[in-house]
Structure 1
Amino acid sequence: MKLGAQKEKWEESMWMSWLLVFVPIAVALEFFASHQYLLIFVASSLAILPLAGWMGHATEQLADRMGEGVGGLLNATFGNAAELIIAFVALHAGLHQVVEASIIGSVVGNMLLVLGAAMLAGGIRYPEQRFNPLGARSQATMLMLAAVALILPAAFQEAEGATAAMVHRLSVSFCVVLLLIYALYLMFSLVTHPGQFRSSATTENDAPAQHEGNAPQPLWRSLTILAAATAGTAWISEIMVGSIEPMVHQFGFSGVFVGAFVVAILGNAAEHATAITAALNNRLDLSFSISLGSSVQVALFVAPVLILASHFVGQAPMDLAFRPDLVLIVVMSGLVTAQVAGDGRSDWFKGVQLLVVYFAMALTFFFLPA
């Protein structure tokens, strides 16, 4: 990559930095005009955009040093921090339906919305993009495993003689298994078989290609920017989500729609921006690692942690027996994503297909009775 191209890439991710002025505006509105829900929502939404841009730039710098798989994992982890904070606040308030819907919405949104938007954006700039199908298929398989872990407790709950205590015990057991599987998945992808998750654009010695004039910034600077942007995103996301519910309830939306398709989208704003930026820079492996990796992390790590934490935080414990309609959309999303991820190539029309499935689901839940 030439020096001019590197400068252009920096400018692409940093051009919205002037919107950081909306960070203090959103905080001031939250403290001094807490009933102005629409203004708080608009200000906090604009404030999140530059924070997501900084997070995306720092993640790409880390990916240059550590590879696409590790870079995507880091972004998924930092990107899910906001969701985890918001979910703990909702747990403490006993809002189990919001937590449940936001978990499912995050899994489905990353699979369909984030990946679809990235494939569409990259496909508009490049006629065809290539990615590593081995890593994508492995992540899609993990998502189907998560779907099975959701189906079984929901089916068990409907069995004759099943009690709430039995469902809770089964859920706790499943949570422990899911956390163990996630730990083994990290070992597989980062330690024993990292080659399966390596970018398809590699050099002959299988190391990530280093481009002329593309000297990554110091590691400490990338980590500092990523940590600061994550903390800011988590804070502003909490302000923004707090304004969404009273605002949208004025229009009679259902709580499931708000949790699964409003809270989840805004909570994943950082991943959306980073995955799309990576695809525009022809780094579709990083887009896959961010979108599918985030879905895997939410399904196999964030959800079990929240279920276990609910036994100590809040008014009553949660379980994995989620609503059947929410479980259904996870299964459908996993099947569609597995089909798209199978051949190692991408174009803009594949992105459109994923987005159509996502918006069809969103419309269905939008018209659910409140």
Structure 2
Amino acid sequence: MFMNALMAFIPISLLLKYVFHSPPLWVFAAAVLAIVPLADWLRRATEHVAVHAGPTIGGLLNVTFGNMAELIIAIFILLSGNVEVVKAQITGSIIGNALLGLGLAIVAAGLARAPQRFNAANAGQLSAMLFLTVITLTLPAVFDYTEQLPGFAAEAGQRGNLDEKLSLGVAVILIVVYLLNLVYTLVTHKDVFALADSDEGGHGQPAQPWSLPLSLGVLLGGTALIALESEMLSGALEATAGQLGLSEFFLGVIVLAVVGNFAEYLAAVYFARQGQMGLAVNIAIGATVQVALLTAPLLVLIGYFLGHPMNLVFGSPLEIIAIIAVALTVTAVTKDGETTWFEGVLLLAVYAALALAFYFVTPRGAEGAGEAALHLVRALAA
């Protein structure tokens, strides 16, 4: 009912933008509220298409379209030239899925029940992939710093070119790992994961599946509407940030990231409340891994081919710390295969602290990333 009510903001946002020519803040807010239900409809349509496509193709569709709303938003912001906002959105999605989404799910499940148990081995694999995320997403910033050392001393223009080449290479590696993970979970070891889902109360199928034409129609129509709303959102971003007295960086890392992943939060909380904690953990951490292994590298490649290059050198050391914090915190909470509501509170507390830091931080942009990495490396060494 809540999601259906939010659908009203689709025509409202169009009227505000194209008929009444309202202030950017109004357009931005309406577009944000319109994207939330559209993302949920996209998720539901994917599940119904998966019923007709079979388990293997269905699983591929679910994981591929899981972050479609977020990817579309990021593409339009990238095309508008706000590269640092796109990077902030990537960071925000990683910490939002793993800390906010999983934290809400654990609290929702734990308040009404005894400690919730799930497959620790499956969670361990996802945690291992999170650490791969830490290495690959922090490497470009450390590389940028290395090129500024006396023994290397690359000029700013040359360093930027090297950063872009390294980011393209890392993007290809991450996509290959993501594809191999799909082969592992959906082909070579599908029986193992199917058994795990069965033991933990897996997804199952919709009670009354839509027809294939209807499912595809909703999928395509939802994608087109999200693209339209994202175009309006990106156009109003700068003016909205100025009117609210917030940085575009903060809007990217908190607001846009939450909007793009809101459907995953709801799904994780729903299944946690149904006692399917293993599935909730897979949704939250799996979405985090997908952002790092697919969404981020795709944006690097898309930016390169569209003439809006984006590297993976994060301009703020706080972003690097946040990504590291996600891997460490999630691993500590899920390693024993059991959660309580207070562990969910801990995840939410870490997210709130990071959000507060992102609110006060003043990013310096990509040109300061090497210096930022230098300060971070020195602080870690001390």
The TM-score normalised by the length of structure 1 is 0.82
Q: Does 1:187 align with 2:180?
A: no
| CA apart distance, 1:337 | 0.6
Match of 2:280 in 1: 287
Partner Cα separation in structure 2 for residue 304 and residue 111 of structure 1: 19
User: Partners in 1 of 2:45 and 2:277 — Cα distance?
Assistant: 17
Cα-to-partner distance string for 1:98-148 (whole Å, 9 max, x where unaligned):
111111111111111111111111222333322222222211211110110
Q: Give the deviation of 1:207 after TM superposition.
A: 9.4
Offset at 1:237? 5.0
Structure 1 residue 238: deviation in Å? 4.8
Judge conservation of contact 1:68–1:199 (CA < 8 Å) in 2: no
- In the alignment, is residue 22 of structure 1 matched against residue 9 of structure 2? yes
Query: Which residue matches 2:239?
Result: 246
Q: Alignment partner of 1:311: what SS?
A: helix
Letter in 1 for 2:77: A
Q: Measured at CA, do residues 144 and 210 of structure 1 come closer, stay the same or move farther in structure 2, by a change above 3 Å?
A: closer
Q: Partner of 2:126 in structure 1?
A: 139
For structure 1, which segment, 229-238 or 130-139, has the greater mean C-alpha deviation from structure 2 after superposition? 229-238
Q: 1:65 to 1:336 in 2, by over 3 A?
A: farther
User: What is the CA-CA distance between 1:89 and the residue it aligns to?
Assistant: 1.6
Q: Using the alignment, how far apart are the partners of 2:104 and 2:79 within structure 1?
A: 34
Contact 2:47-2:62 at 8 Å conserved across structures:
no
Task: For 1:126 and 1:201, locate their aligned partners in 2 and report how far apart those are by CA, in whole Å.
Answer: 20
Tell me, in whole angstroms, the C-alpha distance in 1 between the residues paired with 2:223 and 2:278. Answer: 22
**C-alpha distance 87-47 of structure 1, shift in aligned 2 (>3 A):** closer
Match of 1:335 in 2: 328
SS at match of 1:158: helix
CA separation in 1, counterparts of 2:360 and 2:318?
14
User: Which stretch of the first structure deviates more once superposed, 220-229 or 294-303?
Assistant: 220-229
Residue 75 of structure 1: CA displacement?
4.6
Change (3 A) 1:153 1:51: closer
After alignment, is 32-41 or 254-263 more displaced? 32-41
Equivalent position of 1:363 in the other structure: 356
Residues 1:52 and 1:182: Cα distance change in structure 2 (over 3 Å): closer
Could you say which residue in structure 1 is the equivalent of 2:310?
A: 318
Query: Could you tell me which residue of structure 1 aligns to residue 374 of structure 2?
Result: none
Q: Contact 1:75–1:290 at 8 Å: present in 2 too?
A: no
Cross-structure match for 2:72? 85
CA distance in 2 between partners of 1:68 and 1:115 (Å): 25
Q: Distance in 1 between matches of 2:360 and 2:91?
A: 18
Name the structure 2 match of 1:217.
Answer: 209
Query: Which one of the candidate residues 74, 86, 90 is aligned to 1:99?
Result: 86
Deviation at 1:235, TM superposition (A): 4.1
Distance 2:160 2:47 in 1: 46
Q: CA separation in 2, counterparts of 1:340 and 1:306? A: 30
How many matched pairs? 352
Read off the aligned partner of 1:360 and give its amino acid letter: A
1:33 to 8, 17, 20: 20
Classify 1:173/1:265 alpha carbon distance in 2 versus 1 (closer, same or farther; 3 Å).
same
CA contact (8 A) 1:48 1:269 kept: no
- CA 1:227–1:319: 2 relative to 1, 3 Å: same
The Cα of 1:351 is off from its aligned counterpart by 1.3
Pair 75,279 (structure 1): closer, same or farther in 2 beyond 3 Å: farther
Is the aligned partner of 1:158 residue 2:151?
no
Look up the SS of the partner of 2:305 in the other structure. Answer: coil
Structure 1 residues 198 and 126: alpha-carbon distance in aligned structure 2, compared to 1, 3 A threshold:
farther
* Structure 1: gaps spanning 5 or more residues: 1-13
| 1:125 match: secondary structure | coil
How big is the shift at 1:312?
2.3
Residues 174-230 of structure 1, C-alpha deviation per residue, up to 9 Å, x if partnerless? 111111111111111111223554475636xx995979xx84535635565555555
Q: Deviations over 1:238-278 (max 9, x none)?
A: 54555454223224323322211121111212222222222
Q: Look up the equivalent residue of 1:176 and give its one-letter code.
A: V
Q: Deviations over 1:46-66 (max 9, x none)?
A: 444544554565567678999
* CA separation of 1:234 and 1:81: change in aligned 2, threshold 3 A: farther
2:256 is equivalent to residue 263 of structure 1? yes
Percent of aligned positions that are identical? 40
CA contact (8 A) 1:172 1:319 kept: yes
Q: How does 1:36-51 map to 2 (within 5 A)?
A: 36-51=23-38
User: What is the match of residue 100 of structure 2?
Assistant: 113
Structure 2 match to 1:274: 267
Contact 1:72 1:293 in 2 (8 A): no
| RMSD (Å), alpha carbons | 3.2
Cα distance in 2 for partners of 1:278, 1:33 equals 41
For residues 59 and 340 of structure 2, the distance between their equivalents in structure 1, rounded to whole angstroms, comes to 21
> Do the aligned partners of residues 291 and 172 (structure 1) sit closer, same or farther apart at CA in structure 2, a change above 3 Å counting?
same
Change (3 A) 1:210 1:158: closer
For the 8 Å contact 1:278–1:286, the answer to whether it is kept is yes
CA distance in 2, matches of 1:139, 1:285: 12
Residue identity matched to 2:311: D
- Rate the CA distance shift 1:313–1:226 in 2: closer, same or farther, 3 A: closer
Q: 2:174 aligns with which of 174, 178, 181?
A: 178
The one-letter amino acid paired with 1:275 is A
Does structure 2 retain, via aligned residues, the 8 Å contact 1:199–1:285?
no
